[in-house]
Chains A and B, each alone.
Chain A
Amino acid sequence: MADKIQTHHLTAYFGKVRGVHDINMNIQENQITAIIGPSGCGKSTFVRCLNRMHEVIVGAYAEGEVILDGDNIYAPEVDPVQVRRRIGMVFQKPTPFPTMSIEDNVAAGLKLNGVTFNKSEKEAVVERCLKQAALWEEVKDRLRAPGGSLSGGQQQRLCVARALAVEPEVLLMDEPCSALDPISTARIEELLIELKANYTIVIVTHNMQQAARTADMTAFFFSGDLIEFGETRQIFTNPDRRETEDYITGRFG
């Protein structure tokens, strides 16, 4: 399996405080990679470095390299907006534009990127993305209804559809199910597994069973360090590192 993203000595700072430290990790193409670890261990900071979202916070910056298909996204000539188009992100809480219609929500990313399209092109994109996000059947008869009228789980899938519209190569998901009920969670997980045929997915989760169910590879972070990274099955049945074992078995003080 080819590496889609490689990080080399990636260190992220909030002013003088170090968020993650010297991370070297290879994220494989068309795989789901889960990042687990206790609160404050740097897992969100790490994924936000992968599409240059970290530096959006005042005083925050990153050192080291993030190589996407062979090119360092932190090279001086790189436009972060272009990086974020290739590496999309879905957040913890569903963030649709609440008064905007469902179809306009899906097309919003394209509009912001200055893409122009006619009515039938827009309809095609909306249908494709809603189908990919497993939301089409539930909303196809009310595409003009506001995004805020959907349930939490539907809103989160709408956000996935919106992220997919710009045709990213990588999808970063920061706790995408933590505000959802078990059925919506199962739908999102099912969706991730379908999407990995075409995308590379990195998911941050506090729910270890979610990582165990969905991810091919799992990374365990602790106090800003990458402690262990390996096949999900091995991490959850027989991890190499004592810290990982203590965390997955619930022995953390």
Chain B
Amino acid sequence: MDQPQPLHTNLRYEEELRGLRATLLKMGGLVERQIAEAIDALVNRDTELAKQVIERDKEVNRMDIDTDETCIRLLALHQPAGSDLRFITTGLKITVDLERIGDNAVNIAERAVELNEEPQIKPYIDIPRMASIAQSMVKDSIDAFMRQDTGLCDAVIARDDEVDGLNRQVYRELLSYMAEDPRLIARSTRILFISKYLERIADHAENIAEMVTFMVKGKMIKHMDKK
């Protein structure tokens, strides 16, 4: 089914489906920005920016509720089938992951506010690298959803290992700091949390990529090759 599909006979239904697609795209863009700005707030020690990120989470939550309501309305009123059914049920699940990604960005911002109150242990190197991979995974998983591109899904899923590797590296590094100087334990733990939040964000992006693959192919790839 490569060629573009014709429009629905019921144009209001067609419009509502497009509206759902647009909301999810916007929500994806917003959580990407949340990740980027939370990390900027950490790296540039910008507490004001961190607080903006925390405040903006309300918007993400509102979009999550909007998406839920739209999906439920579409299911109740139009009894969708085939690719539409897979699109709507996938939308219903993707919004959960996007909302959690938003929460993780808020958690990063909260830790940044705390860390900015004390001197920095060392320059941040691996954390921004992790963040940029995780952020690109979120972006690509949403692009894959929009373009129905399972190749892009596979690429997202493959990149999760990089983030996991960096997370372990950050852990080992901070462990040695803490062993050397117990006064660094509080700050190191906070950075460790941030590393974990980024690792979780990458996992959510991976979930989205798996669900998009189901949406496009009608085949479940979740829990197939868990290590």
Residues of A within 8 A of B (CB): 208-209, 212, 236-239, 242, 244-246, 248-253
Contact = CB atoms under 8 A, between A and B. Distances in A.
B10 interface: yes
A239 B82 contact: yes
Chain B CB within 10 Å, residue with most, of A236, A246, A249, A251: A249
B9 A238 contact: no
Secondary structure at the A interface, as helix, strand, loop or mixed, is: helix
B6 interface: yes
Given A248-B82, A250-B9, A251-B7, 8 more contacts: A208-B81, A212-B81, A236-B81, A237-B85, A238-B86, A249-B5, A249-B8, A250-B10
A249 B10 contact: no
B90 to A, nearest CB: 12
Contacts of A245: 1, 5, 82-83
Contact of B6 (A237, A246, A248): A246
Interface residues of B, number: 18
Given A212-B81, A242-B1, A245-B1, A251 B6 contact: yes
A208 B7 CA distance: 19
B171 interface: no
B81 A249 contact: yes
A253 B9 contact: yes
Contacts of A239: 82
A248 B8 CA distance: 10
Nearest to B5: A251
Given A237-B218, A238-B218, A249 B1 contact: no
22 contacts: A208-B79, A209-B79, A236-B82, A236-B85, A237-B86, A238-B82, A238-B86, A239-B82, A244-B82, A245-B1, A248-B81, A248-B82, A249-B80, A249-B81, A249-B82, A249-B83, A249-B84, A250-B8, A250-B78, A251-B5, A251-B6, A251-B8
Interface in B207-227: 218
Interface string B1-21: 100011111100100000000
A102 B78 CA distance: 39
Given A237-B86, A238-B86, A242-B1, A251 B81 contact: no
Interface in B78-112: 78-86
Contacts of A251: 5-9
Interface string B106-139: 0000000000000000000000000000000000
Interface in B157-183: none
Contacts of A242: 1
Nearest to A209: B79
A237 B217 CA distance: 11
A238 B1 CA distance: 11
A249 B218 CA distance: 15
A237 B6 CA distance: 18
Contacts of A249: 5, 8, 80-84
Chain B CB within 10 Å, residue with most, of A212, A239, A244: A239
Contacts of A212: 81
